[in-house]
Amino acid sequence: MDPMAEIKASFFVECSELLESLEEGLLQVQGGDTDPETVNAVFRAVHSIKGGAGAFGLDDLVHFAHRFETVLDEVRSDRLAIDADAVLLFLKSADSLSDLVAAARDETPVDEAKNAVVIAELETLMPGGGDTDEATADADQDLDFAPMTLSLDLPAIDSQVDADIGEVTDEAAATTPVWAICFTTEKGLNQSGNEPLFLMRALAELGPVTAICDTSDLPSLKLLDPSQTNLHWDLTLSADTSQTDIEEVFEFAQGLCTLAITKKTSDQSTPDTADLEALPVLPDLPALPDLPAPSVNEYAPAQPAAENTAPESPKPPAPTPTKAAPVAATVRVDLERIDRLVNLVGELVINQAMLSQSLSAQNLTSNTTISTGLDEFQQLTRDIQDSVMAIRAQPVKPLFQRMSRIVREAAHDTHKKVRLVLEGEATEIDKTVIERLADPLTHMIRNAVDHGLETPEKREQSGKEPEGTIHLRATHRSGRVVIEIQDNGAGINRERVLSIAQSKGLVPTDAVLSDAEIDNLLFMPGFSTATEISNLSGRGVGMDVVKRAIQSLGGRISIQSTPGHGSTFSISLPLTLAVLDGMVIEVSEQTMVVPLSSIVETLTLADAEIQTLDQGTQVVHIRGKFVPLLDLAVEFGYRAPNVIPEDAVVLFISAEDGEPYALVVDTIHEQRQVVIKGLADSYGYVPGVAAATILGDGKIALILDPVDLIARAGSPDTPTALSMAG
């Protein structure tokens, strides 16, 4: 990648972070946060985006960010009070800004009309119209992006300091005694680790100091001995101090310099300050007592360096950078590197399993050093694995924040009033899960606004607040992450759902369905409750797509709905896509892994009672319930139907609708953690199979997707040659 493109790419990465903090800040303001630092943070985010955009010549972005920033600056400097409408407008502007950033990144056209509207609205907030502001702000802008700005400020600071000294000495001269110090370095001063500058700084702590350096002793460059200073200083100190105190300063240089200290009268000192020459050490002397920690000389070179790494680093002059809340140090790492690490750890886990398998084959007793060492190794492997997974884990916060925009837009389009409440944003999930969750979650949030919540009028009629509330909640629950989307709307209109499903031929007209079954009709392909196709949802892509997406992440989705009180959609997701707790089973000499999370119960076939219904449909009779039976070997085409081995084992699997299914396997080997190896990239989709893994013997075993398996078993077009034949 060419270096400019690289810098640009990192700018866009930073932009998305800035946009997040912008939105976060605005939401805090909306929530009643009046801390000026919050407004400052919002301002800084916009300003930084503008700065970076300016450096890359992204004019549209600069233009918009500039207008936005101008208004925010008014707010920041308390010239403009913000009300709820203004915050909404700011949020809208933040959305537009984010669109512009995206457009600049993807080099796609911008919706200029929309932005113009937002800009116009922003302008109306301005107390004094746009013209003058623009002029000043443009100048401001030029200043901000000139990389040398702060270095140029330096002489200004120096001269100001000089002026201060002048005044101080003049004023001080009247009351305090003035000391003239003649300081001549001798050979050996530098060798002993002394430095005239430090001496003079120390002297400056006693009182204001002026220094005149006499360079007449300096030999020509050819003869110059760099270990010698060859300099003579005439120092003037105005301080109410004693000669001993002054001598004490030079204590360490004793014998290495010639020192003459004389007390002068005040009128003698004034001419000295007048013909001060600009000497390199001079500005430093008063700088120490007057300025905070970093000395001016150190500060100057640091600035251009910062300029290179972060194009938007020049801060607006007003907020002090040091005031920002302390942030934990982070490292930005290429995701590919982490993935490689995750893969390697996966290998390590497999390797360790192979090692313990071959050791157990040696029939060693359990208390040998080897087996205890192996136990420790196992523990370490697990720890490493957990740590590596933690690197990939990210809080759901950015994802949730994106949803607040979706809610705003959807609420605007449907003319509803919606409040989004985020809970558990700090909950962490695997990065890939977060990325792939964005689309389904967007869809569900839109659905919640569009279908879930009623219009303000309807809400008032049924005695609710006109403003609807959507809770977006993330929690950790028994090794999984549960994300809930809860609205306080009207709930699912089951009658309507059923009649639509019947009219579309999705269920027989005479079917009697339970409430849960009716709710689950929403997930059926081709089901869409919207009577007219709205801009938001009802494009034919419905909840079935959402369900499919969640399932592909190893997740489950379920609905609870109470008429009149709203609906809750729960998505349960695995913490990581890299490892899985599974049960290792065998079917027709094929070793496979069944995800532990899907197994409800296991049973040996002898205890279970098999009943045959019509044409090979078998059910198991357990605790007064008939559970449909599936022979895994038959489903996968390894065995002809109806020849279930005597000592087979039945796994009870909970299907999507909560109904149990019985899956017949030959034997259960063990329960263990397996590393998931995707099949999709190397081969493709295999029906009923979620992924593959590598077992301790180095062989590949397939990881089943029992829910997919059950869903397919019901459909007549299962492409199993044997089952078709039987």
Partner 1 sequence: MTHDPTDASNSDLELLAFRVGEQEYSVDIMKVREIRGWSPATSLPHAPDYVRGVINLRGAVLPIVDLSARLGMDPIKATSRNVIIVMQLETQTLGVLVDAVSDILTLQKSDIQPPPELANGKANSFISGLTIVEDRMIRVIDLAGVLPETGQAAA
Give min distance, CB of 60 to partner 1, in A: 36
Give min distance, CB of 693 to partner 1, in A: 9
CB of 347 or CB of 439, closer to partner 1 = 347
Residues 628 and 661 sit within 8 Å (Cβ to Cβ): yes
Residues 236 and 269 sit within 8 Å (Cβ to Cβ): yes
Give min distance, CB of 65 to partner 1, in A: 39
CB of 201 or CB of 677, closer to partner 1 = 677
- CA–CA distance, 3 with 635 (Å, rounded to integer): 55
- CA–CA distance, 27 with 137 (Å, rounded to integer): 26
Long-range pairs, 549-557, Cβ under 8 A, ≥24:
549/436, 549/439, 549/440, 550/440, 551/707, 551/708, 552/436, 553/433, 553/436, 553/437, 553/577, 554/580, 554/595, 554/690, 556/656, 556/707, 557/523
CB of 345 or CB of 497, closer to partner 1 = 345
Give min distance, CB of 671 to partner 1, in A: 20
Using CB under 8 A, list all residues that contact partner 1.
343, 346-347, 350, 590-591, 635-638, 677-679, 681-689, 692, 694, 698-702, 717, 719-720
Strand segments (E) across 366-425: 393-395, 417-423
Q: Which of 200, 387, 187, 173 is nearest to 265 (CA)?
A: 173
Q: Which amino acid is at 261?
A: I
Give min distance, CB of 647 to partner 1, in A: 23
CB of 79 or CB of 699, closer to partner 1 = 699
State phi, psi for 525 to the nearest 5 degrees. -60, 140
CB of 195 or CB of 697, closer to partner 1 = 697
Give min distance, CB of 718 to partner 1, in A: 8
- CA–CA distance, 522 with 516 (Å, rounded to integer): 11
Give min distance, CB of 511 to partner 1, in A: 28
CB of 21 or CB of 590, closer to partner 1 = 590
Give min distance, CB of 321 to partner 1, in A: 45
Q: Using CA of residue 24, residue 30, residue 33, residue 36, what is the dihedral sign?
A: positive
CB of 151 or CB of 343, closer to partner 1 = 343
Three-state secondary structure call for residue 640: coil
CB of 389 or CB of 695, closer to partner 1 = 695
Element at 594 (helix H, strand E)? strand 590-595
CB of 153 or CB of 544, closer to partner 1 = 544
Residues 128 and 157 sit within 8 Å (Cβ to Cβ): no
State phi, psi for 209 to the nearest 5 degrees. -125, 140
Which tokens go with 688? 């009923």
Q: Are strands 232-238 and 209-214 parallel, antiparallel or unpaired?
A: antiparallel
CB of 161 or CB of 342, closer to partner 1 = 342
Which tokens go with 427? 């909950």
CB of 251 or CB of 336, closer to partner 1 = 336
- CA–CA distance, 477 with 472 (Å, rounded to integer): 16
Which tokens go with 267? 């009128």
Give min distance, CB of 311 to partner 1, in A: 34
Give min distance, CB of 688 to partner 1, in A: 6
Give Cα separations from 723 to 302, 437, 595, 713, 716 (angstroms). 75, 36, 25, 10, 10
Give min distance, CB of 374 to partner 1, in A: 21
